[in-house]
Amino acid sequence: MLRFAVVGIDHSHTFDHVKGLLAAGGEFVGYCPKTSVPALIENFKKTYPDAPQIDRETIFADPSIDVICISAIPRDRAGLAIRAMRAGKDVMTDKPGVTTIEQLEEVKKAVAETGKIFSICFSERHCVRSAVKAAKLVKQGAIGQVIQTLGMGPHRLQLPTRPDWFFDPEAFGGIIVDIASHQIDQFLFYTGSTSGEVVASAIGNFGMPEKPEFQDFGEVLLRSDKASGYVRVDWFTPEALPTWGDGRLTILGTKGYIELRKYIDISGRPGKDHLFLVNGEENTYIDCSSEKLDYFEAFTADVRDRTETAMTQAHVYEVCRLSLEAQAKASQLGGR
Model pLDDT for residues 229-242, shown as the tens digit of each residue:
999 999 999 999 99
Query: By three-state DSSP, how is residue 229 classified?
Result: strand
Residues 6 or more apart whose Cβ sits within 8 Å of residue 188: 194, 195, 196, 224, 315, 318, 319, 322
Closest CA relative to residue 166, chosen from 109, 214, 236? 214
Query: By three-state DSSP, how is residue 293 classified?
Result: coil
Element (H, E) at 259: strand 256-261
What residue type is 197 in one-letter code?
A: E
Q: What is the pLDDT of residue 72?
A: 98
pLDDT in tens, 68-125: 999 999 999 999 999 999 999 999 999 999 999 999 999 999 999 999 999 999 999 9
Q: What is the pLDDT of residue 336?
A: 55
Closest CA relative to residue 149, chosen from 77, 68, 220, 70? 220
Alpha helices by DSSP H, listed for the chain, are 13-23, 38-47, 56-61, 74-86, 101-114, 123-126, 129-140, 169-172, 175, 181-191, 295-305, 313-328
* Average pLDDT of the segment spanning 18-24: 98
> Which domains are assigned to the chain?
3-121 (3.40.50.720), 125-293+325-334 (3.30.360.10)
pTM of the entire predicted model? 0.97
pLDDT in tens, 138-155: 999 999 999 999 999 999
96 cis-preceded (ω within 30 degrees of 0): yes
Does residue 61 register a pLDDT over 70?
yes
Residues 6 or more apart whose Cβ sits within 8 Å of residue 29: 3, 4, 5, 52, 54, 59, 62, 64, 65
Cα separation, 214 vs 49, in Å, equals: 36
Is residue 106 exposed (0-12), middle (13-18) or buried (19+ Cβ within 10 Å)?
middle
